Chains A and B, each alone.
Chain A
């Protein structure tokens, strides 16, 4: 969820009144925002860098407000104020936007050449004319760009925004792509010219820009925008040219958005222009829906007129049509999140106030059923605890080492599912056995009085070609006994008890029996395979001393590991 920080007093000034912190928090809550923190620049610096650095920093109160991830129109002071004003019914109607042509004739043009297809195929542009920047508006303009870059632009991968002082350049503009060594210009805030290749090297150490280099780094050609005199406006998505940079004195702003996603580029350009000017080309889209639809979905019964009022309160200018039932809703370009009638319905519900809706009980009649596998698991857990074993709860993800090396097994024999992007070794694979988790639990509790008896009934994950995703879960029961003597008879007794609980009698064919087996995790001659109804269901035995020491344990340990799914 993006966070917008605004100066409190500036916000209240724009809203035309002041609020107590609690009142403002309440207003945010109703509108779907969250007043996350009340702070100041001084506070932030002193918290991050210490009190001494904070001296002299501004102590103007800042509100940090969490904005829902799809509401790009609330990412700056201007948008927030507009939204809240309309919500509080301070504006009779939400603002409307229209395009005008420049007084001096032809509109500006941006020509896109074919070469861009190889790297960044889309571009859209607009001009803001006769703008007056104050320091605050200028800061807000820059900050909105940054917020959009981080959110909807997906860190400039989908869209990158460039803004230029139109009076320093002349159209028509050309958006093209060239080999890096053929691009040469003075980048923003530098004194000399560089080739694109040199620039990429220069910015490798730049704490901010280095994060964007990967977007074009390995491409044969880099995107670039020229004016009619061959002046470089920008090399998106990395850096603008120094020549056309905007300042407080800029009167006319040329905005270009280059993109890999055209829809997103349009959204971003709309945000930039609607937040900062009165002129906009984008026409309104109109939706028609019935008042009854909203009443039915929300669970209220309001008149069609009242619903139209509610929607207008949410910046969706609405009118009841001549039949008295349908409502025509204008969707402004700032509301790119509205793509279905249900989005309009949500706004009506918000304007009505979620907490004013009467809570009702659905009449849906159903009979509850437990999942048989979970039902069996619940019953067995109770009885294992009654048998003196304590339940552990261990992670489903672990390292390769845990399920292979430490158990004296080969990773290729495990049928393990491997994770492509683990941040640490703890998340390399999904576990194929519950045993490592239990042994690690023992290791973390070596100070506890002996003997330790632990169990877990949970899922392991195994590769399985017959499943649509190529893997399946398997519900296992695992138990360990850790003491000064191995206690094979204890773990064997537990296995007998589990079979008794599952109504399987000792016996060769229809019953259960165990027979000696070879398993590298177990001490030679101290491992047996368990058969029930003639099928192998797991193993029990005394663990191999090397397994014990690899899990940083010091005492003998016996273990039981069975599949419980055959007993469903």
Chain B
């Protein structure tokens, strides 16, 4: 729509009017001139009659014959020698159809009754015509000199000052503007930016998670996840065939991990099974970013003096799971980790409260849960005002001593951590039900173009 279209120009004002009148159709005109079909049939029959076949050959024969028969102007002698023959039955006739049409033709249709007119209309001899006309009067800005209205202001008008004398067409403010020609950021990445921002505001340092391929050792064993754990099955984890194995481990640490799994130690009974390095060497696509947290905590433990840390990461993880509307083989995990002396479960819940408050979620409660590498483990639930129920928003826990002590972290250091997926809050934020409409190549670019800015607490 053009905003410069004509709105309320008042040079003249026009009022639309309409009227109706009756007119003869082509057939009606013919009848008015030559008589109705039945009258013409009557007049073409001589005294001695006429064979029916001959009559039917006339242009008006068929219609005229049946009408003249029903008017009882003619009769048919079927038994006549030489075939059926038509005779007149009356001396004179009155052609009322023609008379009525002539009245209409003279513009005196009001003399006829409505019933007569509608009957003639049914015979397609008359038609009702609507005439639309405009009643023109001078408008409020009536002028006899012609000035052209300008659509837009031009540089020339500004230079010459001619705009002062010009009349400008008014804009149509109801129309939409022209969309700007621009690029767009992906909604999931916009949400990622906001989560990064939140962690940075809370003083968390970003972990290097740019290593999708991980050894089972760092992904599972270092986290005290036993080698027969179902998560390590073929149908939960993607294993690599090339490169199939990791070939480099910190050997003294690896030995401590083997021992705590198979024999216990560090105050633990261990899992008491035959720990195999072959299992630990298997390369996989990491199933969680906690593998990177383990590497970072190990690195931290190798420092001469322990310093408290707060770490975060947001990156891809991979699961060889059954796919559905909310599950893909890869998704983004958000993770936060705090390591310091003397942290408590109350601290973990307090920090989660602060984190979720920044997301606009203030009503939290915690459910006991099980996770092989955290104890206690808590699922985080928030009250969803729309759904009117508690929904799971994340997982959290305190890393087990069997994970931390073999790394060489000091005894009194506690490490608390939590994680959630990036996709789920994004789907809720942008009202997307099928994850494939958000992530991957099947995304609808229009959705990307149209997605608003991301303010998680709004």
Q: Does B273 lie within 8 Å of A364, measured CB to CB?
A: no
For residue A257, CB closer than 8 A to chain B, the reply is no
In the complex, chain A residues whose CB is within 8 Å of the CB of B82: none
Counted as pairs of residues, one from A and one from B, with CB atoms less than 8 Å apart, the total is 282
| A437 CA / B201 CA spacing, docked (Å) | 33
For residue B53, CB closer than 8 A to chain A, the reply is no
Beta-carbon contacts under 8 Å, A454-471 to B:
455, 459, 461, 463, 467-471
The smallest beta-carbon distance between B190 and chain A, in angstroms, is 9
Q: Does A297 lie within 8 Å of B414, measured CB to CB?
A: yes
Interface string of B301-334 (1 = CB under 8 A from A): 0000000111000001010100000001110000
The smallest beta-carbon distance between A431 and chain B, in angstroms, is 10
Tell me the nearest residue of chain A to B286, going by C-beta.
A469
Most buried by A among B193, B215, B283: B283
Q: Does A469 lie within 8 Å of B283, measured CB to CB?
A: yes
For residue A68, CB closer than 8 A to chain B, the reply is yes
Beta-carbon contacts under 8 Å, A342-375 to B:
342-343, 345-346, 349-350, 354-355, 357-371, 373-374
Q: Does A368 lie within 8 Å of B239, measured CB to CB?
A: no
Tell which of A174-182, A203-211, A233-241, A390-398 binds the partner: A390-398
| A554 CA / B349 CA spacing, docked (Å) | 55
Q: Does A391 lie within 8 Å of B186, measured CB to CB?
A: yes
In the complex, chain A residues whose CB is within 8 Å of the CB of B199: 368
Number of interface residues, chain B, beta carbon within 8 A: 100
For residue B277, CB closer than 8 A to chain A, the reply is no
Known A342-B375, A354-B366; judge A368-B203 contact (CB<8 A).
yes
For residue A418, CB closer than 8 A to chain B, the reply is yes
For residue B241, CB closer than 8 A to chain A, the reply is yes
In the complex, chain A residues whose CB is within 8 Å of the CB of B444: 445
Contact of A71 among B193, B285, B370 (CB under 8 A): B370
Number of interface residues, chain A, beta carbon within 8 A: 98
Q: Does B212 lie within 8 Å of A459, measured CB to CB?
A: yes
For residue B271, CB closer than 8 A to chain A, the reply is yes
Q: Does A340 lie within 8 Å of B200, measured CB to CB?
A: no
In the complex, chain A residues whose CB is within 8 Å of the CB of B328: 395
Tell which of A98-106, A242-250, A272-280, A379-387 binds the partner: A379-387
In the complex, chain B residues whose CB is within 8 Å of the CB of A370: 196, 200, 205-206
| A271 CA / B104 CA spacing, docked (Å) | 107
For residue A303, CB closer than 8 A to chain B, the reply is no
The smallest beta-carbon distance between A71 and chain B, in angstroms, is 7
| A419 CA / B283 CA spacing, docked (Å) | 10
Tell me the nearest residue of chain B to A358, going by C-beta.
B346
Q: Does A430 lie within 8 Å of B213, measured CB to CB?
A: yes
Q: Does A371 lie within 8 Å of B238, measured CB to CB?
A: no
For residue B247, CB closer than 8 A to chain A, the reply is yes
| A362 CA / B416 CA spacing, docked (Å) | 11
Tell me the nearest residue of chain A to B313, going by C-beta.
A371
Tell me the nearest residue of chain A to B351, going by C-beta.
A362
In the complex, chain A residues whose CB is within 8 Å of the CB of B214: 469
For residue A296, CB closer than 8 A to chain B, the reply is yes
Contact of B246 among A365, A423, A463, A468 (CB under 8 A): A468
For residue A299, CB closer than 8 A to chain B, the reply is yes
Tell which of A3-11, A29-37, A485-493, A510-518 binds the partner: A29-37
Q: Does B398 lie within 8 Å of A342, measured CB to CB?
A: yes
The smallest beta-carbon distance between A28 and chain B, in angstroms, is 9
Q: Does A427 lie within 8 Å of B181, measured CB to CB?
A: no
Q: Does A364 lie within 8 Å of B207, measured CB to CB?
A: no
Contact of A154 among B181, B230, B238, B340 (CB under 8 A): B230
For residue A341, CB closer than 8 A to chain B, the reply is yes
The smallest beta-carbon distance between B293 and chain A, in angstroms, is 14
Beta-carbon contacts under 8 Å, B174-226 to A:
181-186, 188-189, 193, 196, 199-208, 210-215
In the complex, chain A residues whose CB is within 8 Å of the CB of B202: 368
Tell me the nearest residue of chain B to A344, going by C-beta.
B375
Q: Does A29 lie within 8 Å of B367, measured CB to CB?
A: yes
In the complex, chain B residues whose CB is within 8 Å of the CB of A440: 441
Q: Does B441 lie within 8 Å of A437, measured CB to CB?
A: yes
Q: Does A361 lie within 8 Å of B351, measured CB to CB?
A: yes
Q: Does A346 lie within 8 Å of B228, measured CB to CB?
A: no
Interface string of B22-51 (1 = CB under 8 A from A): 000000000000000000000000000000
In the complex, chain A residues whose CB is within 8 Å of the CB of B377: 346
Contact of B285 among A297, A360, A419 (CB under 8 A): A419
For residue A420, CB closer than 8 A to chain B, the reply is yes
Q: Does A373 lie within 8 Å of B183, measured CB to CB?
A: no
The smallest beta-carbon distance between A505 and chain B, in angstroms, is 24
For residue B234, CB closer than 8 A to chain A, the reply is yes
Q: Does B443 lie within 8 Å of A392, measured CB to CB?
A: yes
Tell me the nearest residue of chain B to A386, going by C-beta.
B183
| A384 CA / B182 CA spacing, docked (Å) | 10
For residue A422, CB closer than 8 A to chain B, the reply is yes
Known A346-B376, A361-B350, A459-B210; judge A445-B445 contact (CB<8 A).
yes
Q: Does B370 lie within 8 Å of A362, measured CB to CB?
A: no
Q: Does A388 lie within 8 Å of B308, measured CB to CB?
A: no
Interface string of A9-36 (1 = CB under 8 A from B): 0000000000000000000011110100
Known A340-B268, A358-B346; judge A397-B186 contact (CB<8 A).
no
Q: Does B443 lie within 8 Å of A357, measured CB to CB?
A: no
Interface string of A385-415 (1 = CB under 8 A from B): 1111111111111000000000000000000
The smallest beta-carbon distance between B277 and chain A, in angstroms, is 14
Contact of A389 among B183, B212, B340, B372 (CB under 8 A): B183
Most buried by A among B185, B235, B247, B328: B185
| A396 CA / B283 CA spacing, docked (Å) | 17
Tell me the nearest residue of chain A to B202, going by C-beta.
A368
Q: Does B184 lie within 8 Å of A385, measured CB to CB?
A: yes
The smallest beta-carbon distance between A447 and chain B, in angstroms, is 9
Most buried by B among A359, A369, A387, A388: A359
Interface string of B90-131 (1 = CB under 8 A from A): 000000000000000000000000000000000000000000
Q: Does B285 lie within 8 Å of A369, measured CB to CB?
A: no
Q: Does A263 lie within 8 Å of B230, measured CB to CB?
A: no
In the complex, chain A residues whose CB is within 8 Å of the CB of B283: 469-471
| A364 CA / B308 CA spacing, docked (Å) | 6
A30-B368, A340-B268 are known; give 7 further A-B pairs, CB within 8 A.
A340-B402, A342-B376, A350-B368, A354-B366, A381-B189, A384-B183, A470-B283
The 10 A-B residue pairs whose C-beta atoms are closest, nearest first, are A299-B344, A299-B346, A32-B368, A470-B243, A68-B370, A440-B441, A420-B241, A346-B376, A468-B248, A359-B350
Q: Which B residues contact A (CB, under 8 angstroms)?
A: 181-186, 188-189, 193, 196, 199-208, 210-215, 228, 230, 234-235, 238-249, 264, 267-273, 283, 285, 308-310, 316, 318, 320, 328-330, 338, 340, 342-347, 349-351, 353-354, 365-370, 372, 375-378, 398, 400-402, 414, 439-446, 448-449
23 A-B pairs within 8 Å (CB atoms) are namely A30-B368, A32-B368, A69-B370, A298-B345, A340-B268, A340-B400, A361-B351, A362-B340, A364-B340, A371-B208, A385-B182, A389-B183, A392-B186, A396-B330, A419-B238, A421-B235, A443-B441, A445-B444, A445-B445, A459-B316, A467-B211, A469-B211, A471-B240
Q: Which A residues contact B (CB, under 8 angstroms)?
A: 29-32, 34, 68-71, 154, 158, 261-264, 296-300, 337, 339-343, 345-346, 349-350, 354-355, 357-371, 373-374, 378, 381-382, 384-397, 417-423, 426-427, 430, 437-438, 440-441, 443-445, 448, 452-453, 455, 459, 461, 463, 467-473, 475
